[in-house]
Amino acid sequence: MNKKNLFFSTILILLVQISFAQVIQEEQPSKERWNLVSSEGTVTKINKETRELTLMGPEGDLNTIKAGEQIKRFDEISVDDKISFDYWTYIKAEFREPTLAERAAPLQIISEAGKAPEGVDPGALVGAVAKAIVTIEVLNRPYMLATVRGPGGNFMTIPVQDSKILEKVRIGQEFILTYAEAIAVSLKKIDSK
């Protein structure tokens, strides 16, 4: 193949790749939302230093949340306790391949206090905003849930509002997730009677 044909072939391949990437981006645009979540779960893991709890919900969903400083009785919580809790989340999912820079630093803290939704005291309920490469571990299509694992091994189960997303993603797929740490604003033990 001569240099001229090689040049035009290379340009054609690049144009096809760019067009394909644009089609993928158009088919799966970024999704972003705030949620105040009220839930119940069983404590499966506790990190007293970071005040993080991993909880299993009623459908087997796993979430790692951080207890805010306003929760005074945190030390009374044990593994296997059933608790009810409220926490804020902010999520932005970018369905694209991570860049080389993102792969080199798969978890980045963007700000120490996240932007709060209207009506919420800024920084009081939402922790640091982080951007991470996450991997889809579980897809629960009947319940419209996706469980992802972050670079630190923490899990997050995300309610999916658009069923078309669940049709396009797959277990093992990586994507970029920007999120505000789940800061629990209330924790209460539930009687097991």
**What is the residue-level pLDDT of the chain in tens, covering all 193 positions?**
554 444 444 444 444 444 344 434 444 677 788 777 788 899 999 999 988 889 998 888 888 888 877 788 888 899 999 998 887 778 889 999 899 999 999 998 876 554 444 544 433 445 667 899 999 999 999 999 999 999 989 888 888 888 888 888 999 999 999 887 667 777 788 876 5
Classify residue 9: in a domain, yes or no: no
Residue 17 lies in a domain: no
Domain assignment of residue 60, yes or no: yes
Q: How many domains does the chain have?
A: 1
Print the domain residue range for 100: 31-189
Q: Is 5 part of any domain? A: no
Q: How far apart are CA 41 and CA 187, in angstroms?
A: 10
CA neighbor of 26 nearest in space, from 96, 127, 113: 96
In a domain, 14, yes or no: no
